[in-house]
Homo-oligomer: A and B are copies of this chain.
Amino acid sequence: MARKPKQQRSKATVDAIVQAALISIASHGPSAITARQIAEKAGIGVGSLYEYFEDKDAIIDAASKRFVSDTVDLIKPLIPELVRLDIREAIEKLLFSFRDFLEENNQLYLRCARHAFSMDMVIYQSPINSALMELFTQYLMHHPQLLKLPNIPTVAYFYINGGIFTVVRHLSEDNPIQSFEELTTVFGDILASYVDKKVELAG
């Protein structure tokens, strides 16, 4: 059990298991999954699951990690472009990319993200937060006049955490009270207002 895949076909099996787990998490949530479901979706026998994974939780862990690393892979390449933009434009661009990512594959990732906030999983989210924090930091480096802002780390903390949660929740609403475009406008406006106001006061 929990052995390393050594041949090509077994690597494919592991991948199929992770993919099947992601799909199952998306449709039923991590606690409602059965091992049989995963095995069936992956097209293998139940016993085979336990060749590569200690138990069901290990499978869910692997799926969560896949989810997080795919998200980080979305954010990282955007940084060089975003840091050159105006705050509102940068946020708009980031949020639209994020939305498109979440909506891919019939909302596979969005439906996983809905379950990612149970705080057990927050540990795995930290790479996502780090990536966004890096974006924040690099943005500041490219706009040195912003370094005067008070409470930068705390603002980033509020903005990143609150922002992720709000976007995922908004995209999950059956009857959103506002469009995604309105949300991006407000996201930009709130941060830009804070920045303008504080720069004004400081300078």
Instruction: Name A residues whose Cβ lies closer than 8 Å to a Cβ of B.
Output: 29-31, 114-115, 117-120, 122, 150-151, 153-155, 157-159, 161-163, 165-166, 169-170, 172, 177-178, 182-183, 185-187, 189-190, 193-194, 196-198
Contact call A161/B151, Cβ cutoff below 8 A: no
A114 to B30, CA, bound (A): 16
Q: Select from chain B the residue with minimum beta-carbon distance to A115.
A: B118
Given the known interface contacts A120-B29, A197-B193, A198-B193, the answer about A161 and B169 at a Cβ–Cβ threshold of 8 Å is yes
Q: How far is the CB of A139 from chain B (nearest CB, A)?
A: 17
Copies of this chain, complex-wide, total: 2
Given the known interface contacts A158-B166, A161-B166, A194-B189, the answer about A182 and B151 at a Cβ–Cβ threshold of 8 Å is yes
Contact call A161/B155, Cβ cutoff below 8 A: no
Q: Which residues does chain B contribute within 8 Å of A162, judged by CB atoms?
A: 158-159, 161-163, 165-166
Q: How far is the CB of A133 from chain B (nearest CB, A)?
A: 10
Contact call B114/A151, Cβ cutoff below 8 A: no
Contact call B118/A186, Cβ cutoff below 8 A: no
Q: Lowest 5 A-B CB distances belong to which pairs?
A: A162-B162, A31-B31, A117-B117, A114-B119, A118-B118
Q: Which residues does chain B contribute within 8 Å of A169, judged by CB atoms?
A: 119, 122, 161
Q: Select from chain B the residue with minimum beta-carbon distance to A165.
A: B165
Q: How far is the CB of A183 from chain B (nearest CB, A)?
A: 6
Q: Which residues does chain B contribute within 8 Å of A185, judged by CB atoms?
A: 151, 154
11 pairs from A and B in contact (CB 8 Å cutoff): A122-B172, A151-B185, A154-B182, A158-B162, A158-B183, A158-B186, A158-B190, A161-B169, A162-B162, A189-B194, A193-B196
Q: Which residues does chain B contribute within 8 Å of A119, judged by CB atoms?
A: 114-115, 117, 169, 172
Q: Which residues does chain B contribute within 8 Å of A161, judged by CB atoms?
A: 162, 165-166, 169
Q: How far is the CB of A165 from chain B (nearest CB, A)?
A: 4
